[in-house]
Amino acid sequence: MNMSARIFMVVLITIAGCHNHLHSQEAQKQVEIKGQVEIIYPHTMEWQPAIQSPVVANDGSELICALTQDHRFALVPVTVKDWNSEVVNYFGANILAVDREDFPSLAKTGLHAENDLSRVKTINARTLDEINEQARPGRLSSSGFIAEDEDVISVLRGDDRLVRKLGLTHPQLAKPLLHLWNLILQEQKHAQGIWKGRAHAWVHFDHFIYNGKKLFYEVHFTKGGQKSPFQDGIEGAAHLSLWREMSASETEFLEDCYRSYSQEKLIELKHALSNLTSGEMEPFYIVRYGFYEGHTSWRTNPLTIAFIFGLRSIKEIEAAFPGKLDDAMNAHFTNGSALAKERSTR
């Protein structure tokens, strides 16, 4: 999907006249973390706080540590509400909630039941034929939400199997992405970022820290609007690039496992694991449906999420798909594909 088709549904908050007043009110807001009192963003500090990131404060709020462009650290509140117990108003719409009517097992366990998926005929009262038609390339968007040879149920089933093999759930994979979007919203709320060049990139933080990893990102904004094939109120407006560097030990391990690969193919595999192109629609799709989009340029691959955010190590990911990482990353979820037909071993 080209960038102009993904439009951020939240208007950029530019706090002008009340900007200084807001800072004077909020700059000293404090939280307690394991007996240590910390001042949170927009306050910044010279040294990195000696806490894990993400971290849950004593009051239940969630925070991550980030480094600003001028090399100062901040503890940024990024709390994600419990979407499984209530309908949460997010980005101005009640969209952060599991579609429990169509996917009761997802609501209960964070994963789909194979039999449930086989019985699904409609999603949000839309027929599967309607959704598939609108989700394919060149319909509602140029690159599509699923590949031309995929359908929405085969994609849900295929990704559910990937997530099961990782030993994770869909809520666990959605949460880091929602933390990131909350970080971006905090930048905007406090008008701390700057526009970078002519690419409509809002920049304030150089990187943030997640499970001991340094994660880098850039968000580009456009002026149009992207509708959802599910007609669920989820809309898009931003082009997110997220990446982290592979460590020397991660690189060595991957190269050892795939010694038969050409250098070009190894580079492609490393890039696929450590780079993510996404928007703000995708984490809501993961929450509501366990949908990461099909094999298009906007796919939010669960293996990539697990690796980038440190939810699973490269050794754990390889152990889940021994010698088949390339297939797990790239094989389309068509009705005739091996991954789509494979029976769950759990």
Q: Give the model's pLDDT for residue 210.
A: 98
Of 234, 202, 230, 195, nearest to 217 (Cα)? Answer: 202
Q: Which of 30-34, 42-46, 230-234, 332-336 has the lowest mean pLDDT?
A: 332-336
Structure tokens at 12: 């950029």
Query: Please, which pLDDT band fits residue 32 given cuts at 50, 70 and 90?
Result: very high
Q: Give the model's pLDDT for residue 28.
A: 72
Contact between 113 and 105 (Cβ < 8 Å): yes
Q: Give the model's pLDDT for residue 10.
A: 34
Q: Looking up tokens 């809309």, which residue turns up?
A: 235
Residue 259, domain member (yes or no): yes
More confident residue, 325 or 26: 325
pLDDT in tens, 121-172: 999 999 999 999 999 998 888 889 999 999 999 999 999 999 999 999 999 9
What mean pLDDT comes out for the span 255-277? Answer: 96
pTM value is: 0.86
pLDDT at 18 over 70: no
pLDDT at 192 over 80: no
pLDDT at 295 over 90: yes
Distance CA 146, CA 337 (A): 15
Count the domains in the chain.
Answer: 1
What mean pLDDT comes out for the span 84-109? Answer: 79
Does 42 sit behind a cis peptide bond, omega within 30 degrees of 0 on the bond before it?
A: yes
**Mapped to the 3 state alphabet, what secondary structure does the chain carry?**
CCHHHCECCCCCCCCCCCHHHHHHHHCCCEEEECCEEEECCCCCECCCCCCCCCEECCCCCEEEEEEECCCCEEEEECCCCCCCCCCEEECCEEEECCCCCCCHHHHHHCCCCHHHHHHCCEECCEEHHHHHHHHCCCCCCCCCCCCCCCCHHHHHHHHHHHHHHHCCCHHHHHHHHHHHHHHHHHHHHCCCCEEECCCCEEECEEEEEECCEEEEEEEEEEEEEECCCCCCCCCEEEEEEEECCCCHHHHHHHHHHCCCCCHHHHHHHHHHHHEEEECCCHHHHHHHHCCCCCCCCCCCCHHHHHHHCCCCCHHHHHHHCCCCHHHHHHCCCCCCCHHHHCCCCC
Distance CA 230, CA 68 (A): 37
What mean pLDDT comes out for the span 293-302? Answer: 94
Distance CA 155, CA 301 (A): 11
Q: Give the model's pLDDT for residue 327.
A: 95
Query: Please, which pLDDT band fits residue 22 given cuts at 50, 70 and 90?
Result: very low
φ/ψ (deg, to 5) at 279? -140, -170
φ/ψ (deg, to 5) at 42? -85, 5
pLDDT at 284 over 80: yes
What mean pLDDT comes out for the span 273-288? Answer: 92
Q: Give the model's pLDDT for residue 196.
A: 56
Q: Looking up tokens 């029976």, which residue turns up?
A: 343
Structure tokens at 87: 């309908």
Does 54 sit behind a cis peptide bond, omega within 30 degrees of 0 on the bond before it?
A: yes
Residue 280, domain member (yes or no): yes
Distance CA 193, CA 184 (A): 9
Contact between 295 and 149 (Cβ < 8 Å): no
Residue 28, domain member (yes or no): yes
Q: Give the model's pLDDT for residue 276.
A: 96
What mean pLDDT comes out for the span 220-238? Answer: 81
What mean pLDDT comes out for the span 1-26? Answer: 36
Residue 101, domain member (yes or no): no
Residue 313, domain member (yes or no): yes
Q: Give the model's pLDDT for residue 195.
A: 54
Query: Please, which pLDDT band fits residue 221 given cuts at 50, 70 and 90?
Result: confident
What mean pLDDT comes out for the span 52-81? Answer: 94
Q: Give the model's pLDDT for residue 280.
A: 84
Residue 133, domain member (yes or no): no
Residue 329, domain member (yes or no): yes
Domain around 15: 3-80+164-341
Beta bridge mates, 14:
none
More confident residue, 343 or 302: 302
Residue 116, domain member (yes or no): no
Contacts of 258 (CB under 8 A, 6+ apart): 265, 266, 269, 323, 325, 326
Query: Please, which pLDDT band fits residue 279 given cuts at 50, 70 and 90?
Result: confident
pLDDT in tens, 193-214: 555 554 445 567 889 999 999 9
Mean pLDDT of the chain: 84
Contact between 311 and 172 (Cβ < 8 Å): yes
